[in-house]
Structure 1
Amino acid sequence: MVQSASPCGTGHRIVDACRIMRPITCVLAAGSAACGSYIAADRFGADRGRGVLAMVCMAGVLGVANAVNDIVDLPADRIGKPWRPIASGRVRIRTAWCLVSGLTVLTMTIAAALGPAETLFASALLFLAFAYSYRLKDTVLVGNLVVAAVSCGTLLFGAVVCSGVSLRPWVAAGAVLLFVAGYEIVKTLQDRDADNKAGFRTLATVFEPGASVAAYTTVATILCATVLAVGATVSSEPSLYLGCAASFLVAPVCSCAYILWSWSDRDRSTARSLLILRLAWFPGLFSLALLK
């Protein structure tokens, strides 16, 4: 029986519509833009208004990217993640596209208010997000790197809006690129069965799990070298930066490599590693902010 619309039902539909944007990821994108703005700004509080707009704009970019990804991933989600709003039928495809359209207009309006360079930058990030969902997800590693590029682009966008991209924001963006690339590689292990049934070609579906673990370890090693060796040379407070980066960024990343290599239960080791990396994201951004 189809239930009639009610305040409670409408509220649930709104919540489900918001879920396809993955609000936590949007908050992370806003935080990344804030980190870039803070690192690049000449003094604390400079261009605060533009920095806030940059945060909202980048949250919108990730919201669009997540919603489009859920739309395109419908066949795989029906197999591996049937509880998601679109896969479960709680949110219609048409509703999802309306949300994507409205959020895209809002995001580009904010970018246009910031300037032509910012408009071009935001457009490029949205293009990469759409390209990932429609073409590049079905690739080995390329799609993972595109997601990482969009994520690090949010930090660079914040830097561009407030002052311009100097060496320090580039170092921070490189760390974000490597961190997210590693996370996406591990995530393909979690999604391996569903992606395989849906016909997606990823590192985890084309090769044995050991290849994904080796790829993550390689990325983690480069990340640690970048954060510790390069970051320390450009930070104005190298001792404080190294202490925070080692604790909040390097230690979680290395612990995931150890778990993935040593634990025999692949599902459990993958789930634990993803949890650790998710928990490390905000503290990791904080440590990168100390590059200023």
Structure 2
Amino acid sequence: MARDDGLSSCPACPAPHHRRDGRALRALRLPHPFPTLLNAVAVVLLALVAADGRPELGVTLRLAATMLAVQSAVGIVNDCMDRELDAVTKPWKPIPAGVVGVRTAWGLGALAAALALVLGATLGPAAWLLSTAGLGVGLAYDLWLKRTPFSGLTYAVALPLVPLWVWTALGQLTPALLWAWPVGALLGGALHLANALPDLEADAAAGVRGLAQWLGRRRALAGAWGGYLLAVLLAAALGLLLGHERGLLLLGAAAALALLGAAVGAFARRPGPAGLRLGWSLLAPGAALLAVTWLAALP
């Protein structure tokens, strides 16, 4: 009987364009596009701040490209390592859905890591060491630390590296940047917990024993929100003590607090994985905004 669903019944015939397009779009999820693009945008903004609004275009583009490669490598390797877990908890992801093969994914991850090393080397030796350290921390998280109570350390170390890397690449490194480290470490730990919370129970059932699983849902939630709040308050206090431009400093802190309130409200309305995922999508740009405004307000 002839089919009338618009699809060919011939097994050897090419797949319709809309099906190939759909697979391509699903494959784009492999490098975790939301955090990858968010970090690249944050790097461009930080470059503008570091160079007083006039960064060298070539350096800025290489910074953004390096960050895209680093984040893509970390995201792809994460999905390769989690493919069996994702087959149970997130079957829609590219590898368990069969959109991207495992060997292909590993190859793409290796390619992204190689690009990160090559692009990072164009920014100078000191900047290359910092970007390579960030890549190493991210891959250590994927390959080992994610499944241990030390999983939060990777975020706490990697996040404060970003402004140091940007300022170093642009030749603008200043001792005042070291004060950003405790704020970045707190933000990194809080974001790690916020990112892990939506899948906490499913990951725990599959044997993952990261920091969020070790703490449990209630304490992990308190750590995510409390750590983020403490980071905002510390950023404001340090900024006032160090003589930051007060208006911009307080504007950034207020915006970050508003996004924290929105994240808490999202969970109050939808106290489950969906609400927690929405909260993460609010806290991540809030952290980026806080970092950019704090650094822009440097005296």
TM-score above 0.5: yes
Residue correspondence of structure 1 range 19-58 to structure 2 within 5 A: 19-41=29-51, 43-58=52-67
Q: What's the offset of the Cα at 1:6?
A: 6.7
Q: What's the offset of the Cα at 1:107?
A: 1.8
Aligned residue in 1 for 2:286 = 280
Contact 2:187–2:231 (CA<8 Å) still a contact in 1? yes
Aligned residue in 2 for 1:159 = 167
Q: 1:124 to 1:27 in 2, by over 3 A?
A: same
Contact 2:38–2:285 (CA<8 Å) still a contact in 1? no
Contact 1:80–1:193 (CA<8 Å) still a contact in 2? no
Q: What's the offset of the Cα at 1:251?
A: 2.6
Rounded Cα–Cα distance in structure 2 between residues aligned with 1:8 and 1:152? 42
Q: What's the offset of the Cα at 1:282?
A: 5.3
Q: 1:52 to 1:232 in 2, by over 3 A?
A: farther
Q: 1:268 to 1:9 in 2, by over 3 A?
A: closer
Aligned residue in 2 for 1:94 = 103
Q: 1:69 to 1:268 in 2, by over 3 A?
A: closer
Q: 1:272 to 1:53 in 2, by over 3 A?
A: closer
Query: Is structure 2 residue 246 aligned with structure 1 residue 246?
Result: no
1:211-245 CA-to-partner distances (Å, cap 9, x unmatched) read 21232244124202222111234465212321x21
RMSD: 2.9
Q: 1:51 to 1:152 in 2, by over 3 A?
A: same
Counterpart pick for 1:222 among 216, 230, 234: 230
Rounded Cα–Cα distance in structure 2 between residues aligned with 1:95 and 1:2? 23
1:12-59 CA-to-partner distances (Å, cap 9, x unmatched) read 454333321122322222223224333333x43143321221121112
Extract unaligned runs of 5+ from structure 2: 1-10
- Considering only CA atoms, is the larger Rg found in Structure 1 or Structure 2? 2
Aligned residue in 1 for 2:212 = 204
TM-score by length of 1: 0.84
Counterpart pick for 1:188 among 185, 191, 196: 196
Counterpart pick for 1:17 among 19, 27, 49: 27
Q: Which amino acid aligns with 2:276?
A: T
Aligned residue in 1 for 2:4 = none
Contact 1:26–1:63 (CA<8 Å) still a contact in 2? yes
Residue correspondence of structure 1 range 7-156 to structure 2 within 5 A: 11-41=21-51, 43-140=52-149, 142-156=150-164
Q: Which amino acid aligns with 2:137?
A: L
Query: Is structure 2 residue 276 aligned with structure 1 residue 270?
Result: yes
Q: 1:30 to 1:252 in 2, by over 3 A?
A: same
1:140-162 CA-to-partner distances (Å, cap 9, x unmatched) read 2x212303432332332111101
Rounded Cα–Cα distance in structure 2 between residues aligned with 1:263 and 1:110? 44
Q: What's the offset of the Cα at 1:136?
A: 0.2
TM-score by length of 2: 0.83
Kindly tell me the number of residue pairs found equivalent between the two proteins: 288
Q: Which amino acid aligns with 1:95?
A: T
1:162-212 CA-to-partner distances (Å, cap 9, x unmatched) read 124324544455444433321221232211122112211023333432221
Q: What's the offset of the Cα at 1:138?
A: 0.8
